[in-house]
């Protein structure tokens, strides 16, 4: 090894050591401050005890909320009214561009398709699997296998499916499961799946459905098991069974849970970025709002337009979050 390589290696090691030391020092300082605050709160007495306890326990959470959410939100809203380099105030021009540009219209349409198809499919599959698995022996094993994709990041799931959708000429050996399956079934020249519009958009949605179906199944299975046996038995005595029992008894009893699961998956889908970024980069007609926001901000370096898209995305998520909170409160009130 040359002397230059040794010096570079030593410099990199020294830099890493300094950064690690700074990180550990910051963590130790934070823990030290918390320890001092808790000690002070423990020794407090009199009228200040309760306010001090509230400040100690809620203060860090409120501070992190302000620093990590409120401040970035205000800054993003501020930047959305400025030019690409944040040097000139342009008013609502960035929002006008977002609402009138044809390419952004296509992005919004793709996002709407994602918002409708992926959550409905994942929730429906989760409900069907919840009903089927609950009637099987060793259901814990099957539930674990179906839920397992939730443990994989969306980037990891995207890489897995990128190999599944890999396309080669029919004369070559196939490594893509979908292409090999198509050839086996008699399709001599399957297409390049990721280049075929609008099929590629739905193939990307399959990744989200694969990940979220396990979550829907587990939650809905718990809701189904919470239905009182007396209700089910009474319905059967009245002649309900099979599909009627499911549609007129099971579904109404778990309606609130179904809505909560659906809206939760919709929120996740609306913020879908990892899948599109990893598999297509938003090309070939697969662009969605979250990825377009990233592209405008960090690829084209147009901070104003990227911030405007971020605000639009936030406004789209907000009603779903509010509705989800209302439904959860209703469910708790019933319990």
Cα separations in angstroms, 158 against 58, 150, 182, 207, 279: 38, 13, 21, 7, 6
Q: How far apart are CA 119 and CA 268, in angstroms?
A: 9
Residue showing tokens 């605000």: 311
Per-residue pLDDT band for 5 (boundaries 50, 70, 90) equals low
CATH 1.10.3720.10 domain residues, the chain: 99-334
Architecture of domain 99-334: Orthogonal Bundle (1.10)
Per-residue pLDDT band for 63 (boundaries 50, 70, 90) equals confident
Tokens of 128: 């069907």
Summarised one tens digit per residue, pLDDT across range 201-238 is 999 999 999 999 999 999 999 888 888 888 878 878 77
Contact 203, 165 (CB under 8 A): yes
Q: What is the mean pLDDT of residues 31-49?
A: 70
Summarised one tens digit per residue, pLDDT across range 273-318 is 899 999 999 889 899 999 999 999 999 999 999 999 999 998 888 8
Q: What is the CB neighbour count within 10 angstroms for residue 170?
A: 13
Q: What is the CB neighbour count within 10 angstroms for residue 73?
A: 13
Q: Is 89 helix (H, G, I), strand (E, B) or coil?
A: strand
């Amino acid at each position: 090894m040359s002397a230059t390589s040794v010096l570079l290696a030593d410099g990199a090691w020294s830099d890493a050591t300094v950064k690690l030391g700074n990180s550990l020092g910051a963590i130790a300082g934070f823990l030290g401050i918390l320890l001092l605050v808790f000690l002070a709160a423990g020794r407090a007495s009199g009228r200040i005890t309760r306010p001090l306890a509230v400040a100690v326990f809620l203060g860090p959470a409120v501070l992190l909320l302000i620093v990590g959410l409120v401040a970035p939100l205000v800054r993003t809203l501020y930047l959305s009214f400025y030019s690409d380099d944040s040097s000139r105030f342009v008013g609502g021009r960035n929002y006008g561009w977002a609402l009138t540009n044809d390419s952004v219209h296509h992005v919004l349409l793709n996002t709407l398709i994602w918002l409708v198809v992926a959550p409905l499919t994942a929730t429906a599959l989760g409900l069907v699997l919840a009903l089927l698995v609950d009637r099987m022996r060793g259901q814990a094993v099957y539930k674990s296998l179906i839920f397992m994709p939730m443990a994989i990041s969306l980037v990891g799931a995207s890489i897995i499916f990128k190999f599944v959708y890999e396309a080669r000429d029919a004369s070559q050996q196939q490594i893509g499961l979908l292409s090999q399956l198509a050839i086996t079934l008699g399709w001599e020249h399957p297409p390049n799946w990721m280049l075929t519009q609008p099929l590629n958009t739905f193939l990307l949605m399959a990744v989200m459905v694969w990940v979220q179906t396990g979550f829907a199944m587990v939650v809905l299975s718990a809701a189904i098991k919470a239905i009182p046996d007396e209700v089910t038995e009474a319905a059967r005595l009245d002649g309900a069974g099979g599909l009627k029992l499911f549609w007129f008894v099971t579904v109404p009893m778990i309606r609130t849970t179904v809505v909560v699961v659906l809206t939760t998956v919709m929120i996740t889908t609306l913020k879908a970025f990892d899948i599109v970024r990893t598999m297509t980069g938003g090309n070939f007609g697969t662009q969605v709002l979250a990825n377009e926001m990233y592209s405008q901000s960090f690829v084209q370096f147009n901070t104003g337009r990227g911030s405007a898209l971020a605000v639009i995305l936030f406004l789209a998520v907000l009603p779903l979050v509010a509705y989800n909170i209302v439904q959860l409160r209703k469910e708790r009130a019933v319990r």
